[in-house]
Structure 1
Amino acid sequence: MGFMQALRQRWTDADTLVCVGLDPEPSKFPARFNDHPDAVFAFCRDIVDATAPYVCAFKPQIAHFAALGAEDALERLIAHIHAAHPGIPVILDSKRGDIGSTARHYASEAFDRYAADAVTANPYLGRDSVEPFLERSDRGVVILCRTSNPGAGDLQDLVVNGDDGTQRPLYQQVARTIARDWNGHGNCMLVVGATWPAQLREVRAIVGDMPFLVPGVGAQGGDVQAVVENARTADGTGLVVSSSRAVLYASAGEDYADAAAAAARTLRDEINLYR
């Protein structure tokens, strides 16, 4: 089963649009991990196992592992998700985008080395920089469009001349280009931040039913109701709503896994109120 099929199946079978981001920060781990020789893997595995019933995807952030020299833990974590929770896709959050053979190596890193089902990518070097990802028709390519960070508008809101002669913000041109020209295999998603509900609505109008990865709820303050009402598709799906810190670090005590499960379940239920 390809990424998009697995994602849609999960939306239906588990009745959830929640994605848990796996961003390990050992300084925030419970005390039991202080002297643990494999703390990064063990903590993330416990979070995965506790929250799996409530998620449509997991999203490990590669920099959080690489900065700790924990790439091996990341490989084993993704393998654990596939083995213990088959049917839940893994989105590797690496925001890759480069040219020529380098892009092909990044695609191989994500899909062959780490066995991710999808990867985040940066479109600003143009189509050739993401082509090696797009060619993997069974895998997902989750492309930055209107991101959730405060400085997103520095470039993404700049007005540009589209190829149809119409002026529009750059993020809208990105959405239009990906939906029209890059999504030939039907394996593209867009990253549109929860902190910009009006832009969510605008991008949805441009791209139709293309799924969105929506970061920015929880610690970044995005409003769940605004996200769902502005960005859901007609069937009440089309969204992968990501939360990381609010789930991972819901408790620093011995109940850390139960607290993470409760946070994921609460987010699922809140999203479902507005679908």
Structure 2
Amino acid sequence: MNFNEAIRDQWRQQKHVCIGLDPFPEYLPNGITDLFEFNKAIIDATADLACCYKPQFAHYAALGKEHKLKETIHYIKKHYPSVPVILDSKRGDIGSTATMYAKEAFEQYAADAVTVNPYMGSDTVLPFSEFKDKGVIVLCRTSNPSASEFQNQSIEGEPLYIHVARKAQQDWNSNNNISLVVGATAPQEMKHIRSAAPKLPFLIPGIGAQGGDLKSTLINGRFSDGDGVMINSSRGIIYASKEKDFADAARRETEQLQLAINQNI
């Protein structure tokens, strides 16, 4: 079972929430100082609800805590093996270096999928997609405020994000392991991307703190059967409380988001 098949299995269980494990030391709950202990509590409280987990590489590497990232992924693999892990590192480089980044994500960290920046073209995507059982989640139309500066630029009458989406589905998906990052903050762009890439799953950031609308996101991003989306929430879930009930609060936020998704699918 490759990553996309594992995600589809989660969808069949009505799980669509991707939980971002992006710890800021200054935001940790009172009395918690260890990144792994924080993550473990969140995971244990939400694993039966989560579609997948998405730790962000920089939140660990900037602190010299890469070992805590490995520990977190290992814990998920050991105790909740049906829940895939996306390493959000947004790698992108020439072919030989991309190969090493792929080994980093899939062999060193044992992630099930990795986010990839396609700016350098096929050379930077294919070394990742050659890992047939792993997922490659390609940045297409991101949720950040300045995303349109380049991603919406017109090339041969179509925005760049459409070229990326079409290339991803037609040329890069020979192993059926490609997905796209499409931000909830750009609902019309999402609609066009879904038309250009009707078969690719979407990892969707931007709901909650960034202001994306869930209903329009589901209308524009889902497959015709209602699935097709991994709705990411990081801050809204893991920082739902700074008190000792933080894990219970994270569970409640996850339940509420999944309920809202189910009501709109």
Q: TM-score range by the shorter chain?
A: over 0.9
1:59-78: CA deviation from partner (whole Å, max 9, x where unpaired): 00000010111100100100
RMSD: 0.8
Residues 169 and 199, structure 2, Cα contact 8 Å, conserved in 1: no
CA contact (8 A) 1:16 1:272 kept: no
Range moving further from structure 2, 108-117 or 47-56: 47-56
Deviations 1:125-178 (A, max 9, x none): 0101121101011100000000000000000011012xxxxx101111111111
2:87 matches 1:92: yes
The one-letter amino acid of 1:119's match is V
Distance 2:216 2:5 in 1: 26
Q: Distance in 1 between matches of 2:194 and 2:125?
A: 22
Matched, 1:123 2:118: yes
> 2:168 maps to what in 1?
178
Which residue identity does 1:145 align to in structure 2?
C
Q: TM-score by structure 2 length?
A: 0.98
Aligned residues: 265
Indicate which of 53, 64, 72 corresponds to 2:48. 53
Q: Name the SS for the 2:48 alignment partner.
A: helix
Q: Return the letter of the residue paired with 1:72.
A: H
Q: Distance in 2 between matches of 1:5 and 1:11?
A: 10
Q: CA offsets per residue over residues 4-25 of structure 1, 9 Å max, x none? A: 1111111112x11100001010
Query: Where does residue 259 of structure 1 map in the other structure?
Result: 249
Q: What SS does the corresponding residue of 2:194 show, helix, strand or coil?
A: helix
| 2:20 alignment partner in structure 1 | 21
Q: Is residue 10 of structure 1 aligned with residue 10 of structure 2?
A: yes
Unaligned runs of 5+ in 1: 162-166
Matches within 5 A, 1:58-97: 58-97=53-92
Task: Structure 2 unaligned segments of length 5 or more: list them.
Answer: none
C-alpha distance in 1, partners of 2:224/2:126? 30
How far does residue 120 in structure 1 lie from its aligned partner after superposition?
Answer: 0.2
1:180 to partner: Cα distance: 1.1
Query: Which residue does 1:238 correspond to in 2?
Result: 228
Matching residue's letter, 1:96: R
Residue 196 of structure 1 pairs with residue 195 of structure 2: no
Which amino acid letter does the alignment assign opposite residue 175 of structure 1?
A
CA deviation map 1:103-133 (0-9, x unaligned): 1110000000000000000001010112110
C-alpha distance in structure 2 between counterparts of 1:217 and 1:179, whole Å: 25
Amino acid at match of 1:89: P
**1:59, 1:92 within 8 Å by CA — same for their partners in 2?**
yes
- Aligned counterpart, 2:201: 211
Q: What is the TM-score of this pair, normalised by structure 1?
A: 0.95
Per the alignment, in what secondary structure is the counterpart of residue 225 of structure 1?
helix
Q: Secondary structure at the match of 1:241?
A: strand
Identity %: 49
Structure 1, 17-26 or 48-57: larger mean CA deviation: 48-57
Q: Distance in 2 between matches of 1:128 and 1:254?
A: 47
Counterpart in the other structure of 1:164: none
Question: Letter of the aligned partner of 1:11 in structure 2?
Answer: W
CA contact (8 A) 2:125 2:172 kept: no
Q: CA deviation at 1:26?
A: 1.1
Deviations 1:39-95 (A, max 9, x none): 111001111111112111000000001011110010010010011111100000000
Query: Distance in 2 between the 1:97 and 1:154 partners?
Result: 19
